[in-house]
Chains A and B, each alone.
Chain A
């Protein structure tokens, strides 16, 4: 009995060690490793999965054409569910797996948490969706690039549009108390106040709450000319629906978090007339049309948010490795800043800070169930 038990325990320890050992085995370095990190599970997964698909399509294409620098490209995925502590885990894992460049992360908070780890390993990171202004403008992250414009620019566009075109005098700024939402709304509030427009209400709603009529009543009481929403589409569609049901005509404006087909489909008829700022319209770009078609053929549905930006980021990264001649940090960053690459978002390059040159934000409005450019 005792020997049986101790044998069992001994074998358990051996198995334990073996599991550890096997998980730590690395792979040979004769491929180029493109890491894709972001929210692949959890409630923000719909923002992260399109970037996986974009990377898959780009890599498939590139590998079919012989790869980059003669090597095949390998995809390494890392799921951080938009949580910073998971992002650091993912970053460490990718680094220790020998990743060369990273496409990600999706959320600004997660990206911020992970950048230092990538930085000390000399790995270039390009995000299709992290819009926090400091990530590039602060200069603290020389290894960070992005194919989407940043929050400051977006907020400024919103304020300018509201002031010059809609001619509002009183607004309500709402957010979801989250990192992205509150950040966006704070910027909007700051710029509104600088422009002399009164911000009557600056508050956050609890995402996932049972009912939003209290805040909607509050908006009604404040008699604002415009409701500016800074976060994602689920709460936006709930609030707009409630507002319209209570017969409130107040215009509603959101940021790139709601500039998505899903918002229109979920809010249905109540989405009509809603404004949103988002990346410039690229629906005429031939590369975009091709990429969208490829997505529909491969996955049977339309691409989700940030697909275009992720596709472009993947193309830019691979192009930089090709033009730079190696996967070394210096070579890649130099190539990114000096070369122009044709992507679905346009013919882009990157500036000193890491922001893409040749892209920007526009204002859209929902007309007849489709987001159409207004400005």
Chain B
């Protein structure tokens, strides 16, 4: 807590003189003065600041959780259908982001209007991610449907390694900035210190995706076939469900949501790199298990819990141990609910 100095302005003037002495721009001096003015008055309304801080952290956690949710949905869907932890899913997210970057780069070069670029980039990113997901399933997972689960897991890890290095070699190891094409929505200005345009887009997209997926699973024929395959694959085959097609569709849908996540996070953070898939993938996987793997609402809930835990811990305790906290919470929740928050406990019939 800083005691108010005897008038902020005099020292401000001293500062500008000092800055001018070393060739500082007057504009920058003004910036510093403004910052200092804010500092002394900002502390006055402390009650409001605390509440505001809490809400800010809430939205921060919501952003994180939504991104994790978009990726976790893919994980949980694939797991529900073929009991495979698709380690390469994080890489699909990364490929979605990269494709969006490439499309954006090319179209900006040809001078397309911003909105068209954004839409085109998103659509193509989803399309290509789905294509990669579909291809990966055909090559790395389909031959292993009846093999031991661990073999499929290792194959997934190999696929993940392959995709990471493929993008690294074909593109670059640099951190590439993502052009800021999404305009600031005017109606969000009042709450702009709480969350921004990209945050808002992330929340709404996740909500829409979640709603669409639930609708798909619950009310369409494809959804019914997916549920049937998840329950008992061989039986579904006997009843006439084209299991191969359903599994491919699952992968395609999962990859699409991951790609959406990739595009959104690229616009939000502003930078992408070939390695982002690995870390996001692990976190999303943890979130999916936390919520109960195989359950769609569970994936979203788990992701939100994870996001909020990280945000609040960073905000109130320390950013150093935020991951440790997340994992500890995970362990504690799993001790008391061994099948995750919303998971159905696996009844083992003898």
Establish whether A and B are touching in the complex (CB under 8 Å). Answer: yes
**Interface residues in chain A, defined as those with a beta carbon under 8 Å from any beta carbon in chain B:** 41-43, 45-46, 164-167, 169-170, 177, 203-206, 208-215, 217-218, 221, 223, 225, 233-234, 237-238, 241, 245-247, 249-251, 262, 265-268, 273, 365, 367, 374-375
By beta carbon, the residue of chain A nearest B28 is A273
Provide the residues of chain A in CB contact with B221, threshold 8 Å.
none
Given A208-B279, A211-B60, A249-B34, A234 and B271 touching (CB < 8 A)? yes
Please state if A165 and B271 are interface contacts (CB–CB under 8 Å): no
Provide the residues of chain A in CB contact with B24, threshold 8 Å.
374
Known contacts A211-B63, A237-B175, then 17 further A-B pairs from the complex at CB < 8 Å, ordered by chain A residue: A41-B173, A43-B173, A43-B273, A170-B39, A205-B319, A208-B279, A209-B279, A210-B283, A211-B60, A214-B64, A217-B315, A218-B314, A223-B43, A262-B174, A262-B175, A266-B271, A367-B25
Instruction: Please name 14 pairs of A and B residues whose Cβ atoms are closer than 8 Å in the assembled complex, sorted by A.
Output: A43-B173, A169-B2, A206-B323, A208-B273, A213-B60, A218-B319, A223-B2, A233-B175, A234-B175, A237-B270, A246-B196, A249-B35, A268-B177, A367-B25
B31 within 8 A of A: yes
Provide the residues of chain B in CB contact with A164, threshold 8 Å.
18
By beta carbon, the residue of chain B nearest A174 is B319
A44 to chain B minimum Cβ distance, whole angstroms, is 9
By beta carbon, the residue of chain A nearest B49 is A221
Given A165-B22, A210-B67, A221-B53, A215 and B36 touching (CB < 8 A)? no
* CA distance in complex: A221, B42 (Å): 9
Chain B: number of interface residues, binned into ranges: 35 or more
Please state if A214 and B175 are interface contacts (CB–CB under 8 Å): no
B23 within 8 A of A: yes
B118 to chain A minimum Cβ distance, whole angstroms, is 18
Provide the residues of chain B in CB contact with A266, threshold 8 Å.
175-177, 270-271
- Most chain B beta-carbon contacts within 10 A, residue among A204, A225, A245, A262: A245
* CA distance in complex: A273, B15 (Å): 16
Please state if B173 and A46 are interface contacts (CB–CB under 8 Å): yes
Q: Mark B227-250, 1 if CB is under 8 A from A, else 0.
A: 000000000000000000000000
Provide the residues of chain A in CB contact with B276, threshold 8 Å.
208
Given A43-B173, A170-B2, A250-B35, A217 and B280 touching (CB < 8 A)? no
Q: Mark B310-347, 1 if CB is under 8 A from A, else 0.
A: 11001100111011000000000000000000000000
Q: Mark B115-132, 1 if CB is under 8 A from A, else 0.
A: 000000000000000000
B114 within 8 A of A: no
* CA distance in complex: A210, B303 (Å): 12
Please state if A214 and B39 are interface contacts (CB–CB under 8 Å): no
Please state if A217 and B53 are interface contacts (CB–CB under 8 Å): yes
Provide the residues of chain A in CB contact with B68, threshold 8 Å.
210
Provide the residues of chain A in CB contact with B177, threshold 8 Å.
237, 265-268
* CA distance in complex: A268, B211 (Å): 37
Please state if B67 and A165 are interface contacts (CB–CB under 8 Å): no
B275 within 8 A of A: yes
Provide the residues of chain B in CB contact with A177, threshold 8 Å.
320
Provide the residues of chain A in CB contact with B38, threshold 8 Å.
223, 249
Please state if A211 and B269 are interface contacts (CB–CB under 8 Å): yes
* CA distance in complex: A268, B300 (Å): 34
Given A218-B319, A374-B23, A210 and B64 touching (CB < 8 A)? yes
Please state if A213 and B11 are interface contacts (CB–CB under 8 Å): no
Given A203-B319, A204-B320, A208-B279, A247 and B271 touching (CB < 8 A)? no
B184 to chain A minimum Cβ distance, whole angstroms, is 9
* CA distance in complex: A55, B179 (Å): 35
B192 within 8 A of A: yes
A179 to chain B minimum Cβ distance, whole angstroms, is 15
Provide the residues of chain B in CB contact with A221, threshold 8 Å.
49, 53
Please state if B280 and A210 are interface contacts (CB–CB under 8 Å): yes
B14 within 8 A of A: yes
| In-complex Cβ contact of A237 among B57, B271, B322 (8 A) | B271
Closest A-B pairs by Cβ, 3 of them: A214-B314, A213-B60, A203-B319
By beta carbon, the residue of chain B nearest A237 is B271
